[in-house]
């Protein structure tokens, strides 16, 4: 994922920006629910609606990839009921949305150690990935049981094993080779990372990939995120000057 050629995506006002890949830390479901005196699950449910809206908008705008932090490797620390609610919503989302995703040419992809999920959910996820594998539109990437440090550890372990087996020369390890071994291999370089709900940290999301990404923090709570919010973020991105370490 080194900075490469960028194809323009439409941004509001008729302009274009060289934005290919956007990632979102979807935060604020709990606060959204709390403000309405609703249970947390109601916030996650509305969060699922925001996922639907945002994937549709990203496809229409012409992004190549949208990566959503749907379940972090740290989310296992939540109460078991909440974890079950999140898993249930994921099942519901796939069941309800797979036809539309497929119809709209969306290619679904997964990053993270999602094999730790329940076998039926893993099966459902992999069936959705297989069904949409040849689509040519937006690549919608769900980060599931994902942690950026864990991803790098997994790459290091695989490389160390290959070196031990004599199939990898340690001197051949460079940035491109690591890129090619990450869960995100083959995706366009990450251009823009958005975090909702006013929190200002990366929370272990796409740590390697964010090296030259623009970061954008918005106070909007994730369940309120919509096409207009995505367009605002893209407009802000378009106004930034990216130097990739140069002058």
Tell me if 202 sits within 8 A of 25, measured CB to CB: yes
Sign of CA dihedral 180, 186, 192, 197: negative
Residue 27 is a catalytic residue:
yes
Minimum CB–partner distance for residue 91 and ligand FPP (Å) = 9
Minimum CB–partner distance for residue 214 and ligand FPP (Å) = 22
Tell me if 10 sits within 8 A of 61, measured CB to CB: yes
Longest dimension (CA), the chain: 59
| Closer Cβ to ligand FPP, 155 or 225, answer by number | 225
| Closer Cβ to ligand FPP, 163 or 226, answer by number | 226
| Closer Cβ to ligand FPP, 91 or 154, answer by number | 91
Minimum CB–partner distance for residue 166 and ligand FPP (Å) = 41
The residue sitting closest to ligand FPP, measured at its beta carbon, is 30
Minimum CB–partner distance for residue 62 and ligand FPP (Å) = 22
Residue 232 is a catalytic residue:
no
- Contacting positions for ligand FPP (CB under 6 A): 26-31, 44, 47-48, 51, 70, 75, 86, 89-90, 93, 142, 197, 222
Task: List the catalytic residue out of 75, 104, 135, 204.
Answer: 75
Q: What are the beta bridge partners of residue 136?
A: none
What does the DSSP assignment read for 75-141?
Answer: GGGS-HHHHHHHHHHHHHHHHHHHHHHHHTTPEEEEES-GGGS-HHHHHHHHHHHHHHTT--S-EEE
Q: Helix (H, G, I), strand (E, B), or coil: what is residue 11? A: strand
| Closer Cβ to ligand FPP, 29 or 145, answer by number | 29
Tally of CB atoms within 10 A around 1: 23
Residues taking part in catalysis:
27, 75
């Amino acid at each position: 994922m080194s900075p490469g050629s960028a194809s323009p995506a439409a941004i509001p006002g008729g302009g274009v920006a060289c934005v290919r890949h956007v990632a979102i830390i979807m935060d604020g479901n709990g606060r959204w629910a709390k403000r309405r005196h609703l249970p947390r699950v109601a916030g996650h449910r509305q969060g699922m609606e925001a996922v639907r809206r945002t994937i549709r908008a990203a496809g229409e705008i012409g992004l190549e990839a949208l990566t959503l932090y749907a379940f972090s490797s740290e989310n296992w620390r939540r109460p078991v009921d909440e974890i079950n609610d999140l898993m249930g919503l994921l099942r519901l989302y796939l069941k309800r949305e797979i036809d539309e995703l497929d119809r709209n040419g969306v290619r679904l992809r997964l990053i993270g150690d999602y094999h730790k999920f329940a076998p039926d959910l893993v099966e459902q996820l992999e069936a959705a990935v297989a069904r949409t594998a040849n689509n040519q539109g937006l690549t919608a990437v769900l980060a599931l049981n994902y942690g950026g440090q864990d991803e790098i550890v997994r790459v290091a372990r695989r490389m160390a094993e290959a070196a031990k087996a004599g199939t990898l020369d340690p001197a051949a390890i460079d940035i491109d080779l690591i890129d090619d071994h990450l869960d995100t291999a083959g995706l366009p370089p990450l251009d823009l990372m958005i975090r909702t709900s006013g929190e200002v940290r990366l929370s272990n999301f796409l740590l390697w990939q964010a090296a030259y990404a623009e970061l954008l923090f918005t106070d909007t709570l994730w369940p309120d995120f919509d096409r207009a919010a995505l367009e605002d973020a893209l407009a802000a991105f378009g106004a930034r000057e990216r130097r990739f370490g140069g002058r």
